[in-house]
């Protein structure tokens, strides 16, 4: 991992920031960073993961019209998202290229 990315931040800090505002911050860093593969990977993984989760939130939001099932599914998704969000930020800050199953391979391929 290089000493600093094209954003003038340390790559681990830029990697963490890719996840802070979900797919939006991932998109910003993906557009800004042209050189550092570590930062570009985390930016793309953020776009894919949190962009996909945004779609699930829309679907589960509609399911919330079903009284109990919708609320249970929405709550479980929210808890899983929170845990995933924290895990990805910690791993990026530790300088680890932590690849999620399926999504990590896509992010690696699309970030090059």
Residue 3 lies in a domain: no
- List, for residues 35-89, the tens digit of each pLDDT value: 999 999 999 999 999 999 999 888 877 877 877 887 888 889 999 999 999 999 9
DSSP track, 21-52: TTHHHHHHHHHH-SS-HHHHHHHHHHHHHHHH
Give the ranges where 33-112 is alpha helix by DSSP (H). Answer: 37-63, 67-93, 103-110
- What is the domain extent for residue 39? 11-97
pTM of the model: 0.88
Displacement of CA 59 from its chain's centroid (Å): 19
- List, for residues 7-40, the tens digit of each pLDDT value: 789 999 999 999 999 999 999 999 999 999 999 9
Contact 25, 18 (CB under 8 A): yes
Domain count, the chain: 1
Residue 105 lies in a domain: no
């Amino acid at each position: 991992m290089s000493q600093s990315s094209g954003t003038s931040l340390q790559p681990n800090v830029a990697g963490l920031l890719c996840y802070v505002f979900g797919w939006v911050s991932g998109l910003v860093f993906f557009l800004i960073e042209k050189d550092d593969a570590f930062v570009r990977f985390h930016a793309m993984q953020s776009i894919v993961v949190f962009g996909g989760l945004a779609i699930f939130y829309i679907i589960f939001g509609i399911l919330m019209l079903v009284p109990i099932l919708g609320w249970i599914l929405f709550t479980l998704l929210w808890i899983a998202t929170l845990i995933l969000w924290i895990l990805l930020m910690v791993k990026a800050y530790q300088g680890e290229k932590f690849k999620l199953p399926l999504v990590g391979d896509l992010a690696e391929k699309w970030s090059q």
